[in-house]
Structure 1
Amino acid sequence: MTDTPFAPGTVTTEKSGQERLPSLVVIALLWIAAMIIIAFTADFIRPYDITAFDLKNRLAPPGNAAHLLGTDELGRDVLSRLIESIRISLLIAFGSTLISAFVGTFLGFLAAHFRGIVEQVVLMLADFQAALPFLILSLAVLAFFGNSVLLLTCLMGFYGWERYARITRGLAISANAQGYAAAVTQLGAKPSRIYLRHILPNIASTLIVSMTLTFPEIILLESSLSFLGLGVQPPMTSLGNMVGYGREYLTTAPWIMLAPALIIMFTTLSISILGDWLRDQLDPTIR
């Protein structure tokens, strides 16, 4: 029997092909990385101050040597305001996502640990949160307490916490039923150590995927509030704020609104693509 000759590199090529990231995921990662770099280096790469006026070049179209993306109705550089808007919008979305994940995970652990009346209260609050239109609640809170980036971030942090609470509660109860949590308890470990050192790492992948789903929703929600005039206030700017002010010049100067609108669309789309890919990679039932 003649052995089939071994072709060097065949197995390696197959393995590398299996491990290669999909093209859409690579593009999404590059876009997200670019947005993060812009957010961190905004003060250094911004060509003008966001409040600098150039009244001689009001509503200048893109392609101008002095203003690559044109200017708005006050002669402010659209590119400079876009860079600053990316930083503010990402800051609000990232901070709000962390707050939402922390609150939801904490309440989910409380419900799973104490059960009984505590569990019923947490589930009742989650049902109330899910049934209440969050945009209407946000409009009421911002109209009553005023506007600030800190208040807006904290307010957005209460969006979607019920998802984390339900997921954490269910996974924590399942982990307790598997026995390893009970074994650690018999060794004298405190409940905080059990949930933080043993249960949380086992459910972290699911929570991370949930965060990638909540993040673009918060970006869109902040953009909606800023579009309605109750989000980020001048002289600060955000993506939704730029879209809101640019809608009045949609027919005469569409670049004022189109630039931030495209950033919102591509950013949310990229995070959604990354979230779908992570869900497929971290879900053992799909493999």
Structure 2
Amino acid sequence: MSDAVLPAVTAAPPRRRTRVPVAVAIGLGWIALMLAVALLADVISPYAYTALDLRNRLSAPVGIGGSWAHGLGTDELGRDVLSRLFHSIRMSLLIAFGATIIGAAFGTGMGFLAAHFRGWVEQAVLALVDFSASLPFLILALAVLAFFGNSLTLFVVLLGFHAWERYARIARGLAISAGAQGYAAAVRQLGARPLRVYWRHILPNIASTLIISMTLAFPEIILLESGLSFLGLGVQPPATSLGNMVGYGREYLTRAPWILLAPAFTIILTTLAISIVGDWLRDRLDPTLR
């Protein structure tokens, strides 16, 4: 009786675990902390961010002569800096999230419009893109806010139009490329409407690139909001934001530097963390780098 020849079984190569770099892990942790602070600002704030305590105005933080009653000190009106910092983080993140979504939605829509109609519509969109890219956004923002006033809704919408041309170029190029591929043409031949083709088939395939662009634009919007609020054209009292706190703290830089330093360091660390995570996502999701 001959021995049966068993087929050789080859073990599948073990899957290599992806290690997250230390800098990226720290950045993700900081972003998670900022989101938690924004969500729980009302709960974790020791005082109301508008509460005045004139007897403790310009009180120093703990460690340099202050008390635990005001861990990060107080400002010129005796308001608790820590409480104002928590609510400022919430306001700045809300503005940045809203503006980023508006810019991405508008730019992607314009890019799809140019990719679908081509011809004079495409030329008009590209001309608008070039005009927007060549116009200094800060000067435009100063002019619009000075003329129409300091409405928070207008402020968010205005910031949303920052760098929308970046999304328009990306969406147009990727939509044209996807349209030349088989899956988009097959869906069209089945009778799908253009809106369904772009929304259900093309957009999911280019979403990773758009998300990476959003993570890279997010810190830019935070810095723009901080700069405009610093100049007095952004968030208005009694509301507060990180740039608003820096703007008020500059007058007391020599007497009470903690008023300015706390929001300034928060801006620096948040933008740095988002930039690091955005660069890492770009490297992870780019198929040409695998």
TM class by shorter chain equals over 0.9
Aligned pairs (5 A) from 1:30-41: 30-41=29-40
Distance in 1 separating the partners of 2:35 and 2:155: 20
Query: What secondary structure, in the 3-state scheme, does the structure 1 residue paired with 2:16 have?
Result: helix
The alpha-carbon deviation at position 255 of structure 1 amounts to 0.4
Residue 44 in 1 paired to residue 31 in 2? no
Say if 2:112 is the partner of 1:109: yes
Q: Distance in 1 between matches of 2:16 and 2:123?
A: 49
Rounded to whole Å, the distance in 1 between the matches of 2:46 and 2:239 is: 16
Gaps of 5+ in 1: 1-10
CA distance in 2, matches of 1:183, 1:244: 56
- Aligned counterpart for 2:146 among listed residues 126, 143, 167: 143
**Residue in 2 that maps onto 1:62:** 61
Gaps of 5+ in 2: 1-12
Question: Distance in 2 between the 1:123 and 1:45 partners?
Answer: 48
Q: Distance in 2 between matches of 1:39 and 1:142?
A: 26
* Residue identity opposite 1:37 in structure 2: A
Q: Structure 1 segments of 4 or more deviating over 4 A?
A: none
d(CA) in 2 for partners of 1:163, 1:15: 35
Task: Tell me, in whole angstroms, the C-alpha distance in 1 between the residues paired with 2:190 and 2:98.
Answer: 37
Shift of 1:15: 2.8
Residue 224 of structure 2 corresponds to residue 225 of structure 1: no
Q: Within 5 Å, which residues of 2 pair with 1:30-179? A: 30-63=29-62, 64-179=67-182
Q: What is the identity, as a one-letter code, of the residue corresponding to 1:15?
A: R
Per-residue CA shift, 1:75-97, capped at 9, x if unaligned? 11000100000000000000000
Q: Could you tell me how far apart the structure 1 residues matched to 2:111 and 2:48 are?
A: 45
Aligned letter for 1:261? A
Partner of 1:272: 275
Structure with greater Cα Rg: 2
Secondary structure, counterpart of 2:139 in structure 1: helix
Measured in 1, the distance between the counterparts of 2:23 and 2:61 equals 29
Q: Kindly state the Cα deviation for residue 179 of structure 1 after the two structures are TM-superposed.
A: 2.4
2:214 paired residue number = 211
Q: Distance in 1 between matches of 2:135 and 2:200?
A: 34
Matches of 1:163 and 1:211, distance apart in 2? 10
Shift of 1:49: 1.1
Cα separation, 2, equivalents of 1:175 and 1:79 = 50
Q: CA RMSD in A?
A: 1.1
Identity %: 72
Aligned to 1:66, the other structure's residue is in SS state helix
Task: Work out the CA distance in 1 between the residues paired with 2:128 and 2:201.
Answer: 27
In 2, Cα distance between equivalents of 1:195 and 1:54: 56
SS at match of 2:28: helix
Displacement, 1:66? 0.8
Larger displacement relative to structure 2 (205-214 or 174-183): 174-183
TM-score, scaled to structure 1: 0.94
Partner of 2:191: 188
Match of 2:5 in 1: none
Distance 2:135 2:46 in 1: 43
Deviation at 1:148, TM superposition (A): 2.2
Amino acid at match of 1:110: L
Q: CA separation in 1, counterparts of 2:87 and 2:103?
A: 24
